[in-house]
Structure 1
């Protein structure tokens, strides 16, 4: 027996010819532990078929699913200073930004587009949680305000898909300043009598719930979404009490009047289209709306 020819060479060939199998062909349902085939999950708009668990969607996929035929016009936002505080913790902020941009293909955590939903024209912004936890910094704030400004100028409804862990700590007070600035953008929509609809997705927490995420004319939540300023664990440790079952979940908040509707992802398009049609925009643009936009900018 030739050990080299019969054993070593076949093993080397099998290793060299081994097919590369993608690691993400199967996704684990966080709720039941069930393994779901990625293509089935994508075809179902990232809703687990058996449990109905709503998984996160990237901003580009969310807009492609939301707008008719996946077609929309991207609304550009102004450039901002990168790393204005020269922030560094375990890593430099610029390195974190670079990694997030490579991972998501986005410039920052918010992507805005204009298009039609079941024939109804509107503007929509989406926060991408995969970009540094959807944190709100200067670039994200500018993107939200740019979307609101486009809606006011075009006399269109504005839809905000919120998903965030809060303000971006690497930008300090400059991040917190986006809370009042985006609130002024909401005021401009209101003064222009344009519908502002917020869709709270999992999770929506931190600073955004202290500003634009909770200021919609209609507050919609996806099933099971975690919504709140501070997380349940932080609240329990603070008040030293056990929280009710399902506390801060979409269904609990709906029962207690903090959310108007809990809508399955498959029903979002027709629901939002109907709401925008019912709340239809007026033609004239009041001067007060222009003033609010000027202040936000």
Structure 2
């Protein structure tokens, strides 16, 4: 059987020649080059009847049927060029997707964190006003402390619920938490209302656990436990009661609440140390197993 020449059938050889002749000055692979290639193929004569082997667009969608001479329909090359065109993402598509996925820094969760940071100097000024023993100023200081603790409860919940987690929030939130609590403890101890060893135990535990989290972060994240949340709540209530100028049985009650807060601080701190040790051992074992599997 006599085959149809490639140049007449619109096959690959004919297509390349037609492209070169019909589109002088165009660079292959560019948008102009691909357009010229389509026009050249459309004008290239095919077999009589305009069947699957025709050089025009009638060959597309035929699955690149083989011509009698062993040549492949130009529809294959049309589809290939169109596939390249279709693979190009729309201009600005990636930027728009990133804008949707990344929450703005100026969201409600971060604004609450910023408010808590601004309340720290305000609390100090109110706490130490008029020598630090005026009941009215102490009440205002308690209000500032209470607002800070309430925002601490809501900003993290809002960030996780409404996908408002940002890098700024991850850094600023724990700083704001430690700042308001540490400032209150130091002010109380400086005024003689709270023993310094209590302040030392609580602040030492908070700073130590924070550093411990950073040390084992390569192996995983230590999740917040229920005991840790209870500790935070108890600390907030105890410190708030000490900020107020309480007398009588309320002053005795706040001592017991603070004692409970100290116990929870120590117990949960030891639990976090245990979790960190287990997490580190597990991470080392997994890395060792993965290395052995790779070498094998």
Structure of greater Rg: 2
How high is the TM-score relative to the length of structure 1? 0.23
Between structures 1 and 2, the one with greater strand share: 1
Structure with larger RCO (C-alpha < 8 A, sep 6+): 1
Between structures 1 and 2, the one with greater helix share: 2
How high is the TM-score relative to the length of structure 2? 0.23
